[in-house]
Structure 1
Amino acid sequence: MTCLVGVPPENVDQVWPLIEQRLEEACLTSRGKEKAFDIRRSARHGEKQIWVVWDEDANDVLAVVVSELAVYPRKMVCHIQICVGNERERWQHHIAIIEDWARQKGCRGMSLVARPGWSRVLKQFGYDMTHHLVEKDLQDA
């Protein structure tokens, strides 16, 4: 059985040894925008939220999600920045917990940047692909 747990800012350091490697690997695809240390600092200050999917049978972390609240002039959105883990089918339904939390915070939408396969997975939960993110590093151009 799995459960999704939101990590309060004051508990980030306690869970960090369990999630640091996964976040560092996920950050490798961010094209140099952020490292795991930056996420840790932001989560400690409450600027980002860390969610841990816990495998109760194995007593281990199965996945990690990083979100942040994005405030726009006309609405606030909960943006999922990172979602990384194993055995996705066992925990993908937990997105409803993050959605409920976001509603309680006043969000009127959800967003995420993800690999193309996630758009197929999240369609069953009511998500539509609205954009593709295309990037280029200028320092190497």
Structure 2
Amino acid sequence: MNLQEFLNANPIDDVTEDVVISPRFKDENGSPLKFTIKAMTEEEFEDIRKRSTQVGKKKVEFDSRKFNLHVAINNTINPDFKNADSIKKLGVSSPEEYVKRVLLAGELATLVQKITELSGFDVEMSELVEEAKN
């Protein structure tokens, strides 16, 4: 199989992965509960980046907290952070408030890291060089 055939057989519209983000999430048997995440497309990344950036008269401000929340909310399949019943059950009014209520700061950071890695970010150049050699 050449690269063109590989690309044709592997479009990016359904790249998902089950990941463990914290030892806190365990079922009744002590087994880890996994989050199902999906990769961001270039368009999704740009949309979230733009929504997290404010352009003022003299400076541009990037809100990394807002960026991380939107990455997690929009790219986590399970659990569904947009689930209206869950939002209502916890007495919050938005997916952003829900995430802040159910995830610790480090858990959110880990979740976002896993999503960005699945999306092709944070791949070390040395890993790519090593893989290319093989």
Q: Same fold (TM over 0.5)?
A: no
Select the structure that is richer in strand: 1
TM-score, normalised relative to structure 1: 0.26
Select the structure that is richer in helix: 2
Bigger Rg over Cα: 2
TM-score, normalised relative to structure 2: 0.27
